[in-house]
Each structure stands twice: as C-alpha cells, then as structure tokens.
Amino acid sequence: MYTDASYFEKKNHGGFAFIIEDLKGNYNLYTEKVKDIGSSQAELEAAIKALELLKDVEKIRIITDSQYVRKGLTEWLPIWKLNDFKTINGEPAKNIEKWLDFDKACNGKYIEFQWVKAHSNHFENSLCDMYAKDIANKNSTSY
C-alpha cells in the first residue's frame, strides 16, 4: 500500500490518499478529507484506514514518505508499550489513541516499510500526494 497526506495547518483541514495494489498489480485508490488532526496525524490516519481495509491480508508493504508513520510503528511504539506510553523524557506520548489503533490494525501481520523521499518522482507516492491535495482542497464543510 502507498500512503500520503496533505494538511493545511492554517485552515485546520486536509486530506489523505492511499493506493492498495493487489498481487496482480491492480490499483485501488481511496481518499478522505480530515479536520482538526494535523499533518502527521493525517499521515497516520491514512495508514490506519488502509490497514483496516487489508484486515485479512497477513503480509503488507507500506510505502510512505512519512518518517512519523515509519518510526512510530518500528521504533517508538514498542518502547512506549514497555514504558507505559511515556517518551524517553518521561512525557506522555502524543496521539496514543491513534497509535493504539495503528498497532491493533497491524496485529498478526508481517509489516514491511519502504520509505520514499517526498516529491522525488516516485510514481505511486506522487499519485497519493496529488489526490491527497485534491481532496484537501475540495470546498466542502462535511468531513
């Protein structure tokens, strides 16, 4: 799966997009508008929603330009679980409800991450970026 998000901090809304590629190479695109969550959280929300759709798939590769998502699952979350969801500085981890949703969606799965640099002409990442910006720019008051 490929994920990306776009968020306008000043407008306090944005959107995300993800593409699920099946084993035959077919793409399915999903987009959603979000409000009041921030840029990093929109990236995380995209990954959670994609994983929820892939609930019956055991092996998944997540291709993302978000270090927040990659590091959160591979580095931070395992430590938070051991430290009662406290950071290395003893502060409560932020967005823990979403991280727990992410962890639950990953439960029982083999997850492989591939990080791609944003805006580096990676085809699927560029598509997700374009669709995330498109949905974020839609003039709609419903989220």
Give the CATH number of the domain where residue 33 resides: 3.30.420.10
pLDDT at residue 140 tops 70: no
Q: Into how many domains does the chain fold?
A: 1
For residue 25, is pLDDT > 80? yes
Domain assignment present for residue 142? The answer is no
What are the two backbone dihedrals, phi and then psi, of residue 99, each rounded to the nearest 5 degrees? -65, -35
DSSP 86: B
| pLDDT at residue number 139 | 58
Amino acid identity at 3 = T
- Higher-confidence residue of 88 and 115: namely 115
Q: Please give the span between the terminal C-alpha atoms of the chain, in angstroms, as a whole number.
A: 23
Is residue 113 one of the residues assigned to a domain?
yes
Residue 87: is its pLDDT beyond 90? no
Q: How far is CA 86 from CA 70, 73, 81, 82, 92, in A?
A: 19, 15, 8, 9, 4
Total-model pTM:
0.89
User: How far apart are the C-alpha atoms of 83 and 55, rounded to whole Å?
Assistant: 28
Give me the pLDDT at residue 143, please: 41
Instruction: Report the C-alpha gap between 58 and 137 in whole angstroms.
Output: 34
Residue 143 placed within a domain: no
Is 57 inside any structural domain? yes
For the segment 34-51, the average pLDDT, to the nearest whole number, is 93
Owning domain of residue 23: 2-137
